[in-house]
Amino acid sequence: MKVLALGGSGDMGRMAVAILLESPNISSITVADKNFERAKHFVKLVGSDKLNPVEIDVAEHDKLVDLISSHDIVMNTVGPYYKFATMILEAVIKTKKPYVDICDDWKPTLDLLDMNENAKKAGITAIIGIGASPGITNLMAILACSKLDEVDDLITAWGTFGGGTVGERPKYYVSPRRFYKKFMDMPIIANAATMHLFYETLEDIPTYKDGKFINIKPLTVAEPYQFPGYKDTYVCYIGHPEPVTLPRVIKANSVSNLMYMGKIITDVVRKYTQKISDKELTVSEASVKFYEELRERGSDPELVKEYIGTPPGLSVKATGTKDGKRKIVAIANERVPFGAMAGVTGVPLAIAVEMVINGEITEKGVLSPEESFSDPMGFLDKYAKYCGKNLSGKDILLIREVEL
Instruction: From first to last of the 404 residues of the chain, give the pLDDT tens digit.
Output: 999 999 999 999 999 999 999 999 999 999 999 999 999 999 999 999 999 999 999 999 999 999 999 999 999 999 889 999 999 999 999 999 999 999 999 999 999 999 999 999 999 999 999 999 999 999 999 999 999 999 999 999 999 754 567 899 999 999 988 998 887 665 555 577 888 889 999 999 999 999 999 999 999 999 999 999 999 999 999 999 999 999 999 999 999 999 999 999 999 999 999 999 999 999 999 999 998 898 888 778 888 888 889 999 999 999 999 999 999 999 999 999 999 899 999 999 999 999 999 999 999 999 999 999 999 999 999 999 999 999 999 999 999 999 99
**240 CB contacts (<8 Å, ≥6 apart)?**
104, 106, 133, 134, 156, 200, 257
Report the distance separating Cα 144 and Cα 152, nearest Å: 12
At residue 247, φ and ψ (nearest 5 deg) are: -65, -15
CA 401 vs CA 21, 81, 224, 229, 330: distances in Å: 39, 36, 19, 11, 6
Cα distance between residue 89 and residue 76, in whole Å: 9
Per the confidence metrics, is the pTM higher than 0.75?
yes
Distance between CA atoms of residues 138 and 140, nearest Å: 5
Domains of the chain: 2-133+338-390 (3.40.50.720), 136-336 (3.30.360)
The pLDDT assigned to 185 comes to: 62
CA quadruple 339, 31, 200, 351: dihedral positive or negative? negative
Helix (H, G, I), strand (E, B) or coil at 19: helix
pLDDT at 298: 72
Q: Phi and psi at residue 379, in whole multiples of 5°?
A: -65, -45
State the pLDDT at residue 79. 87
- C-beta neighbour count of 364 within 10 angstroms: 16
Integer CA distances (angstroms), 147 to 142, 144, 317, 327, in order: 9, 6, 12, 9
Q: Do 302 and 264 form a contact (C-beta atoms < 8 A)?
A: yes
Q: Residue 150 to residues 13, 209, 258, 265, 325: CA-CA distances in angstroms?
A: 38, 15, 22, 36, 10
Round to whole Å and give the CA distance between 310 and 231.
6
